[in-house]
Structure 1
């Protein structure tokens, strides 16, 4: 009701207290959706949605019908001081967030109705009582906590951890990273006041409060998804007091209002509501309108993932715990699996073989026939998450002969990433209804050849929507619903998400890829045991 009153007062701008009282009384008689009932006046405001990615921070302004108005992007550096480490400097990320917001707001004529966030998953930063950082941001790419993941799986039981949290315990998980920090920096750990994600840290700096959302909490391996609370036994195994974790709220919650010096610093008016937002992967389901059975969301950014939504918790019955189950919104769950090196494989190949020109990968790959003349790429450049869960896996080009040229390598890299996603899709479809339609987002959606390869490999139509910034749009949709412009996620997605292009499978290509994919799986399965040369160290990923 407070959101409704706030919106109504902005629309009607009462001149005196008696008019204001009448509006408040009128608001109490209304039902959702408020936007239609309040006024026929066209609302011209917008929502600024900040997407805190791995290497870029984007601030995207959407109007209240989901059209992209403006986008600004600022690079973020990832530091790798040791092999397997991946860190970011908190203040550099914060500076990128503020710069992106300020640039976006400056270029938008519409009034900003709200600020919201989507963010990379699995990041951790440690804060002292003064709000200063005791560590860099340890992001999702970091794999230093292999031993700690094994210790946790032994203490609680790997599958029991999965059953409670919906997370496969591995070095990527915040639970493992926190335990590593406690074991390796005990004096520093004693000074820890709060353990936050990078988005939580940004909200703390903006609003001076410690809060996280249900989506990010459910992706920590610390949160019991069945009880919707931090799991005390897991926290005890990690050695973390529950008071050191932020309060968990729903992703669509208003957590504060812009005020003080930050209003001027980021160019927003005082009093603009801040909606908590959530993890980028889960929010992409909303931004692509993937809320019902038979429809999947696929993302190729730095990493890659394929996900569906369900109205119930769905877990892998295999002890391998090959896919995740994270919280979403309105009682929905996000079921899916992610690979480590999707767009990262493209960037690596372009940097080393195409003079750093990423656009050339599609140009070269288009010269080769489907199947890349039998050349197969296993994209395990950073180890692999789903479905292998092997941090020591290595990338492979298989089938190389004298006949292979640059176009074959280029196409094999594109196809290998899609094969890895298809590997996840095949496992998911043992537990969820078949995927009849796949909607794609992320930077990979701009590569038409990649979209066609996906349709051919998946043997399923692949759809593009009106914006590639689907995670940011998902956060904006939640915000629009919170502000009262839509009655439900379903209403919002039906109104906002527009499908504007489809790639249909080409039967002869699908036939070729079905044979090649089986070969890909056989190679991956055969090499799997060789990725674990030191079982005592690496068994945690099994």
Structure 2
């Protein structure tokens, strides 16, 4: 039997999957590492923790899994997007990595708009300037830690650094490069224009490769520490959302993904980069060859539900916490929630907005609040779906993954709010299985990623929209859409009082 490994480098842990040539997961390992949050809005990690835990996970996978080291043919990666790993001339990190959920760079985003212009930026990168992207982080280091920036010879994203440490080859692939705000999406190369305008030496940008390209084999040291053969092929991999799309079969026009994790994502396949969404949704390179995807983001999707549970039911299981939620009617008996507890991304790129419960009544019980939170998260995701539909995309079937796919009532709610068939997969490993598929394709097991998806991905169940509830949710969604505009000014005033 032949095997590949998919490595998913997340924000809180690295997850590793050992996958055989039939697409079955034969062993999995998860290794956690800490966040460093020294100030409000700061979010960093030590890159050495990623390397240490990835090697530890690989060692356990080889030792405890069923595969012999010479049966494991390839490795590929999925990784958290937008993070900045700044490297010196010896490719050693100059500081802790600044992560995707770090929001310290509002001033730098404003600077980009002032110097480049919003429309010119969209014309080059297809994306707006947001705090989470890599370019504003580069500018922040340049302005606030100039002694470090002067030593910088390159930068990469998190999974690229781990891959470099395993192979000795430094590169960045397109799906992550598109999330830096420095890639010219039309030309498929780093934007020298942006670098010149913002006074960044273009040589700091690493070589670009495709997600399916082989980027070396294991260094002897990495092979010794992991137990793998030094002949193991290593492939570039992709951004977590791109790999999640591969692992969910979003590989042709008309395919759409909804993923509810800490954040929430609605992602739709694009065969070209020629559409114009006016920056209202993200537009990135796919991990699939010569393909793209558009994506809307809810910053605090599953996080909103976890926050509410931690505050009001920290000692309960999720099953206890959500018990009886299916008995609450659409609209939660007049209670509405907006999931802006950590700001919002789509369609309101606003780091300062905060969440609301609207319509609280003395007759409401906790379960109605739980139901309202689930509805609010789903409404926020529906904002992205509405943008796609208003721009001519047909969306009638959506693959649902993440925490939102673990509760069947929530899946039915998604079908009703989105007015689309919701598909639940038999094995939902998202980015990790997508990374494994990139390795399987790279090793030549399949002629295309589509044929790999046919072998690896199985449907468990489909949830169809219920006409009566669809009509109710159309009206409720109209009310939901009014809350942002009517609370934005209030939240701006309240920001002064937040500690």
Aligned to 2:162: 202
Structure 1, 77-86 or 211-220: larger mean CA deviation? 77-86
Report how far residue 379 of structure 1 moved: 0.7
Q: Does 1:339 align with 2:298?
A: yes
Of residues 56, 59, 73 in structure 1, which corresponds to 2:13?
56
Instruction: Give the Cα–Cα distance (whole angstroms) in 2 for the partners of residues 248 and 52 of structure 1.
Output: 20
Of residues 13, 37, 41 in structure 2, which corresponds to 1:84?
41
Instruction: Quickly say closer, same or farther: Cα 1:325–1:95, change in 2 above 3 A.
Output: same
Normalised TM-score (structure 1): 0.87
Instruction: Give the Cα–Cα distance (whole angstroms) in 1 for the partners of residues 353 and 62 of structure 2.
Output: 44
Instruction: Quickly say closer, same or farther: Cα 1:394–1:183, change in 2 above 3 A.
Output: same
State the number of aligned residues: 490
Match of 2:294, SS?
strand
Instruction: Give the Cα–Cα distance (whole angstroms) in 2 for the partners of residues 390 and 316 of structure 1.
Output: 21
Superposed, which structure 2 residues align to 1:17-416 within 5 Å?
44-110=1-67, 111-318=71-278, 321-328=279-286, 329-355=288-314, 357=316, 359=318, 360-363=320-323, 365-416=325-376
Report how far residue 50 of structure 1 moved: 0.5
Of residues 486, 500, 509 in structure 1, which corresponds to 2:460?
500
Instruction: Give the Cα–Cα distance (whole angstroms) in 2 for the partners of residues 387 and 302 of structure 1.
Output: 18
- Name the Cα RMSD after superposition: 1.9
Instruction: Give the Cα–Cα distance (whole angstroms) in 2 for the partners of residues 152 and 528 of structure 1.
Output: 24
Kept in 2, the 8 Å contact 1:117–1:275? The answer is: yes
Match of 2:323, SS?
helix
Instruction: Give the Cα–Cα distance (whole angstroms) in 2 for the partners of residues 488 and 516 of structure 1.
Output: 43
Superposed, which structure 2 residues align to 1:412-423 within 5 Å?
412-423=372-383
Q: Does 1:509 align with 2:469?
A: yes
Report how far residue 128 of structure 1 moved: 1.6
Report how far residue 224 of structure 1 moved: 0.3
Q: Runs of 5+ in structure 2 lacking a partner?
A: 495-499
Instruction: Give the Cα–Cα distance (whole angstroms) in 2 for the partners of residues 100 and 450 of structure 1.
Output: 33
Match of 1:463, SS?
strand
Kept in 1, the 8 Å contact 2:254–2:269? The answer is: no
Kept in 1, the 8 Å contact 2:336–2:372? The answer is: yes
Per-residue CA distance 1:219-254 (angstroms, 9 max, x = gap): 110000100110012112333212222111000011
Match of 1:115, SS?
strand
Instruction: Give the Cα–Cα distance (whole angstroms) in 2 for the partners of residues 357 and 47 of structure 1.
Output: 38
Of residues 475, 478, 482 in structure 1, which corresponds to 2:438?
478
Report how far residue 409 of structure 1 moved: 1.0
Report how far residue 433 of structure 1 moved: 2.2
Instruction: Give the Cα–Cα distance (whole angstroms) in 1 for the partners of residues 160 and 316 of structure 2.
Output: 35
Instruction: Give the Cα–Cα distance (whole angstroms) in 1 for the partners of residues 249 and 235 of structure 2.
Output: 20
Kept in 2, the 8 Å contact 1:167–1:325? The answer is: yes
Instruction: Give the Cα–Cα distance (whole angstroms) in 1 for the partners of residues 419 and 86 of structure 2.
Output: 45
Match of 1:298, SS?
strand
Q: Runs of 5+ in structure 1 lacking a partner?
A: 1-43, 535-542
Aligned to 1:463: 423
Instruction: Quickly say closer, same or farther: Cα 1:78–1:403, change in 2 above 3 A.
Output: same
Instruction: Give the Cα–Cα distance (whole angstroms) in 2 for the partners of residues 157 and 480 of structure 1.
Output: 42
Kept in 1, the 8 Å contact 2:212–2:289? The answer is: no
Instruction: Quickly say closer, same or farther: Cα 1:324–1:412, change in 2 above 3 A.
Output: same
Normalised TM-score (structure 2): 0.94
Per-residue CA distance 1:325-349 (angstroms, 9 max, x = gap): 1111222111111111111112211
Match of 1:363, SS?
coil
Instruction: Quickly say closer, same or farther: Cα 1:358–1:307, change in 2 above 3 A.
Output: farther
Per-residue CA distance 1:65-119 (angstroms, 9 max, x = gap): 2222222112232222111111112122222222222222223213211111001
Instruction: Give the Cα–Cα distance (whole angstroms) in 2 for the partners of residues 236 and 533 of structure 1.
Output: 38
Kept in 2, the 8 Å contact 1:378–1:416? The answer is: yes
Instruction: Give the Cα–Cα distance (whole angstroms) in 2 for the partners of residues 378 and 203 of structure 1.
Output: 39
Kept in 2, the 8 Å contact 1:118–1:279? The answer is: yes
Instruction: Quickly say closer, same or farther: Cα 1:237–1:135, change in 2 above 3 A.
Output: farther
Instruction: Quickly say closer, same or farther: Cα 1:444–1:533, change in 2 above 3 A.
Output: same
Aligned to 1:424: 384
Instruction: Give the Cα–Cα distance (whole angstroms) in 1 for the partners of residues 386 and 147 of structure 2.
Output: 46
Report how far residue 531 of structure 1 moved: 4.9
Report how far residue 363 of structure 1 moved: 2.3
Per-residue CA distance 1:160-192 (angstroms, 9 max, x = gap): 212211222111110111101100011111111
